[in-house]
A and B are shown apart, each in its own frame.
Chain A
Amino acid sequence: MKELTKEDELLGLKEPNKNGHDMPRAVISVLGEDKVGIIATLSRVIADYQGNIVQINQNIIQGMFSMIMIVEIDKLSVNFEEFKHSLESKREELGVRVVVQSEKVFRYMHRI
């Protein structure tokens, strides 16, 4: 992209900021039928990519496994997309729904 001028500033145009470094943490939520090894499998993937688990909340409600993990991802060895895909693709193997989202979503919605 060409150099921004004074006029561009008045138009509100800025240098595009591509790197998504507004995302130090991710929330990983898991829901499905309980079985052996759900946490072990997912933790392995997280560790492999240098994610750091800072909080886990896990419950079994009427046989349903439910877990929410908060993971620091600022030192990931891969990009977010690959990290997300690696975890979410465990859904077949584990038979549970895995969703990886930026923590920002939850902060924005619930904190002013």
Chain B
Amino acid sequence: MALEFDEILETIQMVQMQNLDIRTVTMGISLRDCGHPDINVFCKNIEEKILSYAGNLKATVEEIEKEIGIPIVNKRISITPIAIAAEAVQAEDYTPIAVTLDKIADQVGVDFLGGFSALVQKGFTRGDLRLIKSLPKALASTNRVCASVNVGSTKAGINMDAVKMMSEVIKETAELTKDKDGIGCAKLVVFCNVPEDNPFMAGAFHGVSEPEVVLNVGVSGPGVVRAVLEKHPEVSINEISELIKKTAFKITRMGEMVGQMVSRRLGIPFGIVDLSLAPTPAIGDSIANILEEMGLERCGTHGTTAALALLNDAVKKGGSMAAHNVGGLSGAFIPVSEDAGMIEAAQLGALTLDKLEAMTCVCSVGLDMIAIPGDTPMETIGGIIADEMAIGMVNNKTTAVRIIPAPGKKVGDGVEFGGLLGYAPIMPVHQFSSAKFIHRGGRIPAPIQALRN
């Protein structure tokens, strides 16, 4: 069937005026065959392995970007969690591994490399402990390496020892990167029910049940959704849902197409499209603005959770029809610093940490890119993490915390990370203590929802 003039024009507008882009093509690579007791040999093994598959990634993606005329913003690599891949390594400090990964990322020309990670929801191995202990230094000595630790799941409950440990790691990482407002913490995510095929950073890693090598694609496009709603100011909620579904379908088709093109040209299997709506600091490319377009004066006011639930569900319904395989996080992201509308709402006091927590019950991920006062006690961070993990555990969904206790900063200040990471106003936290709860240690048992057989 011939293309209509209007259809062509619509697509061109999406790209040129509404910030439609493919957010990332992420290559997942298994490092399970790289283990060695000698850290230097291990580093050499992972370097050889990653280069053998990802050597042509950047060039191929850039070639496709030119052909389709749609920006593909990031090229990334995810790897087997290093705590697993490096378990056999006889070294207490894994920082040299992170430094090697940083060097590889630079050499291959990818923007980020994710998988300096551990999965400890039910307990630690020696490798897990060494990885977690190495995190602050590893994050402070690298630029492109992203780390994540899964501390809870619906099946296992929440490892509260790990929650406490991660709170300390976050404080220490912020301190070690204080010359850059604690930017190290922007590359570290604490998860519950982490997906193993997520192409988005900072939480991407190549899960243990994933194949040898795979390509995953993350789409973007909040600006496109907002523009569509803007054109229909008076329609009912049902109509809004329909409009979002249709738009999400179109956006996701671009991800599917790019995934198939890269896969064919590299000879590497295509895994999934992640249906997430990922905002950027660009004006108009904001999840908060979509919610406001639906009729909320400011994101964060009463009704925000309902509006977000509607958005998230419609995105999934539309997107799931557009791709062969859907996976990853798949939902709307609400990172504060990366979303101009969220930043504004937080500065006005319309959007609070408590409201954000409620919003994470109905969308993908969780408390994301939130800056809090530098003097926030470790135990309060632990409480924030534990709450967020509990939401994920009980509701069978992924939740996460990426929080930055910005050294020396107070409520009213802000931190500027630049680029896609944006600007974060310092948000207030509750002043009453969570210390005794966090220091008890142990594990919150798996909830009754875990017993499904």
Q: Which residues of A contact B (CB under 8 A)?
A: 1, 11-18, 20, 22-23, 27, 29, 55, 57, 68, 70, 80-81, 84, 99-111
* Contact across chains for A104 and B68 when beta carbons are under 8 A apart: yes
Known: A104-B68, A105-B68. 18 other contacts (CB 8 A): A12-B213, A12-B214, A16-B56, A16-B265, A20-B63, A29-B12, A81-B66, A99-B16, A99-B69, A102-B69, A104-B257, A105-B11, A105-B257, A108-B253, A109-B254, A110-B4, A110-B10, A110-B11
Please measure, in the bound complex, the distance between the C-alpha atom of A99 and the C-alpha atom of B14, giving whole angstroms.
Answer: 14
Interface of B is mostly: helix
Cβ-defined contact, B1 with A111, below 8 A: yes
Does B8 reach chain A (CB closer than 8 Å)? yes
What is the minimal beta-carbon distance from A61 to any residue of chain B, in angstroms?
A: 11
The CA-CA distance from A13 to B250 in the complex, in Å, is 29
For A14, list chain B residues within 8 Å (CB): 264, 267-268
In contact, B67 and A101 (Cβ under 8 angstroms): yes
Please determine whether B8 and A68 come into contact, CB atoms closer than 8 angstroms: yes
Q: Which residues of B are found within 8 Å of A55, using beta-carbon distances? A: 2
Q: Are A109 and B212 in contact (CB under 8 A)?
A: no
Establish whether residues B269 and A109, one from each chain, have CB atoms under 8 Å apart when the complex forms: no
Point out the residues of chain B lying under 8 angstroms from A110, CB to CB.
3-4, 7, 10-11, 250
- B residues 1-54 near A (Cβ < 8 Å) are 1-5, 7-12, 16
Min CB–CB distance A111 → chain B (angstroms): 6
Contacts A/B (CB < 8 Å), 20 sampled: A11-B213, A14-B267, A16-B56, A16-B264, A17-B265, A17-B267, A68-B9, A80-B66, A81-B66, A84-B66, A101-B67, A102-B68, A103-B3, A105-B69, A106-B11, A108-B254, A108-B256, A109-B250, A110-B3, A110-B11
Total of A-B residue pairs, C-beta within 8 Å: 92
Contact A109 B67 (CB under 8 A): no
Q: Considering the complex, give the chain B residue whose CB is closest to the CB of A26.
A: B67
Give chain B's interface residues, CB within 8 Å of chain A: 1-5, 7-12, 16, 56, 63, 66-70, 211-214, 250, 253-254, 256-257, 261, 264-269
Residues of B within 8 A of A107 (CB): 3
A84 cross-chain contacts in B, Cβ below 8 A: 66
Cα(A104)–Cα(B8), bound, Å? 11
A81 CA to B59 CA, complexed, in Å: 13
Please give the distance in Å from A9's CB to the nearest CB on chain B: 11
Q: Give A82 to B253 CA distance when docked, in angstroms.
A: 27
Residue pair A106, B269 in contact (C-beta under 8 Å): no
Give chain B residues whose Cβ lies under 8 Å from the Cβ of A102.
67-69
State the CA gap A14–B266 with chains docked (Å).
Answer: 8
Of the residues A11, A20, A106, contact of B212 by C-beta under 8 Å: A11
Contact of B3 among A11, A20, A106 (CB under 8 A): A106
Please indicate the chain A residues that have their CB under 8 angstroms from the CB of B257 in the complex: 104-105, 108
Bound Cα distance from A16 to B266, whole angstroms: 5
Determine the chain A residues whose CB is within 8 A of the CB of B63 once the complex forms: 20, 81
A105 and B265: CB pair below 8 A? no
How close is A100's CB to chain B, nearest CB, in angstroms?
7
Cβ contact within 8 Å between A17 and B66: no
